[in-house]
Structure 1
Amino acid sequence: MLVNVASKHQVRSAIQRVREAGVRVMMVTGDHPGTARAVAEEVGIATTDKCHVITGTELRNMTPDLLYLMLEKHYEIVFARTSPTQKLQIVEACQRQGSIVAVTGDGVNDAPALRRADIGISMGITGSQVSKQTADIILMDDNFATIVTGIEEGRKIFDNLKKSVCYILISNVPEVIPVLMFILFSIPLPLGVMTILCVDLGTDMWPAVSLSHEKAEQDIMDRPPRKSDSLVSASMLRLVYGHLGLIEFAAGIYAYFIVMAEHGFYPRQLFGIRERWDNEAVSDVEDSLGQEWTYGKRKELERVCQAAFFVAIVITQMMNGIICKTRYNSIFQVGMKNRILNIGLVVEIIVAAAVCYTPGVNNFFRTYPLKLRWWFLAVPFSALMLAFDEFRKYCIRKEKFNGWFNKLLFY
């Protein structure tokens, strides 16, 4: 980030805070070198005697490669007596390093650098009309601390988007695998189309949106700037499809098999039974206890099992919403302070109960009133999800963003 001399009135703490966030701050001004160094020391840009001051005359004699090496060698640099062309040259040199460059400016001379920068920031009070028209962002209070707030807010928004996407993707696993098992292993359908829609468009919507209201995590300004981090990363997909999603599926299929077994169909007998199970002409399908089931009774049992699978997804998704509140900190440290999410979790369980027990509604969604104990079949799996995710975050915090575990599962 390049700071114009007009930023000298901003507090030292703001400069220190952005540096802790991994942002490099340099001063580029047309003032005398002595004045530039004094201002840099006042605001905290120059913290040691090693701060290197480069004048416009020296810069004019530098080749692009030499300027590149100077930027690599010296972390604290102040450019003084620079022309508009030289400001543009400095921006291009920083971009050549692979940096995302933000430039603040208020004068006509800053316009070329503001336009060339990845983010041009003009002053709303003291800024010229040309700089305002050229810039991408206008600071209405001319306060550098506002940029710090913007960085934090941007990181928080990106974090919360990741949390929402992760939350939504996890429920895809227990929705897709039952259909694959239905096709590949010829078992009675564990989860119907209408219950899948109920999860995606009903119970999951509120918690997914409410994650956008999460406050920034405590470490958010201590993280290094992201360069190529995508919204849906490979590590997120590994976590979703290889870990948490499979636990949710295990909860659903466990509830499915338990309900089937309580009615006489043990798991080993369900594989390969689909053709006879779905045939209306077959009215004597035997269960593991030798009882014969008509087509109507079989379909009623199938609705019960699908309702149990659906409730298992809802219960585990409630835990999923809790663990997705944070990417790095422990949920026990952050707490349940997101009131919108808390309401969403309550609404989620109410909707699930309404879908199962409300006459007419359960016929539409092909569900069935469940026994109370079947609601608790997924609780151990929810506890496993919480324990696994807390362990994952603990390992990530301990390794401080390094190591194989972070690369594998920190999304």
Structure 2
Amino acid sequence: IPFSSTTKYQISIHAMEEGYCLLAMKGAPERILARCSTICTESGTQEMNDEMMEICDRACTELAEKGERVLGFADLVLDNQYTKEYPFCAEPPNFPRKNLRFVGFMSLIDPPRPQVPDAVERCRSAGIRVVMVTGDHPVTAKAIAREVGIISYEEVIEAFNINTIETLPPNLPFAKNKAIVIHGAALRDMNDQELDRILYNFREIVFARTSPTQKLHIVEGCQRLGEIVAVTGDGVNDAPALKKADIGIAMGISGSEVSQQSADMILLDDNFASIITGVEEGRRIFDNLKKSIAYTLASNVPEILPFLAFILLNIPLPLGTYNNKIQRN
């Protein structure tokens, strides 16, 4: 079963030399741990009790707080009926996917480009709000957002479920000088009014563990508030949001063909800072165009008005009258 942004895990089945088949699963740690009943330790396989689950959660959080992307791994020795001749099917799965053995975590460091923090600051000074929408773990997303400057406030509200959203006061002063990190589970249970309230009140927002449908929902929410929305994306799942946005920007190097066809622009170097450079150049061109039009009107209007007065009001042209006087003299 290939990885998808909906299930957030990948499954592969391997025929071992000993004659049995081994199921291997990797994906989001919380999705993997939820399917495990045992854990692999130094002393062997043990039951996954509450204490072990707490240790795993704490280890995952510690890695995520460093801005690292964490993957969970698990396996399962299949029964004798699942041999290599067994007709395994992915849709729908016809093999066990529960009571797995948790094997461990693996963390990946994918640091943001050095130009991104400066680009985010330039966006903020230009009146552009940067909202982070990612499939990463909320703790990882918050760490990366703080590293690049998307989150600058000290106080961050973490909304992992709809109950946190419902307890937030509806007024703007409450959200002043506060950032918010919203889990995909909370976003799934929010209605349009609650989403609009979050988008309107908070200036620094991070959406984590989101699905493609939720990305589209966020774009629609920003547009309901009258915002002009630009979306960046590189995967097939980003295509609906790219197409719905006022400006869809696909990655030229890592972007899929579907995302590039759905976008309005293609970022050739996959660098977020290049978008800001393009915005600056576009605003400069627009400003120069306004100055050019103002100069043209200022010089041409005095020349046009006498001719309009001559045609509409039959007032003689000043230059023509002066020439006639010279000829009579």
TM-score by length of 1: 0.44
Query: In the alignment, does 2:148 pair up with 1:43?
Result: yes
Higher strand share: 2
Query: In the alignment, does 2:190 pair up with 1:62?
Result: yes
Query: Contact conserved, 1:179 with 1:191, CA < 8 A, in 2?
Result: no
Quickly say closer, same or farther: Cα 1:35–1:14, change in 2 above 3 A: same
Summarize the alignment of residues 52-131 of structure 1 with structure 2, pairs less than 5 Å apart: 52-131=180-259
What's 1:342 paired with? Answer: none
What's 2:280 paired with? Answer: 152
What's 1:11 paired with? Answer: 116
Q: CA deviation at 1:25?
A: 0.4
- 2-side partners of 1:95 and 1:154: how far apart? 22
Q: What is the RMSD of the two structures over their aligned residues, measured on CA atoms?
A: 2.5
Q: Give CA deviations for 1:87-135 in whole Å, capped at 9, x if unaligned.
A: 0000000000100000011111111111110001111111112111111
What's 1:198 paired with? Answer: none
- 1-side partners of 2:214 and 2:111: how far apart? 19
- The one of 5, 8, 24 aligned to 2:129: 24
Task: Return 5+ residue gaps in structure 2 as ranges.
Answer: 1-68, 70-109, 156-177
Quickly say closer, same or farther: Cα 1:182–1:127, change in 2 above 3 A: closer
- 2-side partners of 1:181 and 1:116: how far apart? 50
Query: Contact conserved, 1:55 with 1:80, CA < 8 A, in 2?
Result: yes
Quickly say closer, same or farther: Cα 1:186–1:169, change in 2 above 3 A: closer
- 2-side partners of 1:164 and 1:170: how far apart? 10
Q: CA deviation at 1:182?
A: 4.3
- 1-side partners of 2:136 and 2:314: how far apart? 77
Count of residues in correspondence between the two structures: 196
Q: CA deviation at 1:69?
A: 0.4
Task: Return 5+ residue gaps in structure 1 as ranges.
Answer: 193-255, 264-276, 278-286, 288-292, 302-411
- 1-side partners of 2:310 and 2:250: how far apart? 60
- 1-side partners of 2:295 and 2:234: how far apart? 43
Instruction: Kindly indicate whether structure 1 or structure 2 has the higher relative contact order, using CA contacts under 8 Å at least 6 residues apart.
Output: 1
- 1-side partners of 2:319 and 2:251: how far apart? 57
Q: CA deviation at 1:180?
A: 4.7
TM-score by length of 2: 0.55
Query: Contact conserved, 1:8 with 1:40, CA < 8 A, in 2?
Result: no
Which deviates more from structure 2 when the two are superposed, residues 101-110 or residues 46-55? 46-55
Task: Give SS of 1:169's match.
Answer: helix
- 2-side partners of 1:20 and 1:146: how far apart? 16
Summarize the alignment of residues 176-325 of structure 1 with structure 2, pairs less than 5 Å apart: 176-180=304-308, 182=310, 184=313, 186-187=315-316, 189-191=317-319, 297-298=327-328
What's 1:135 paired with? Answer: 263
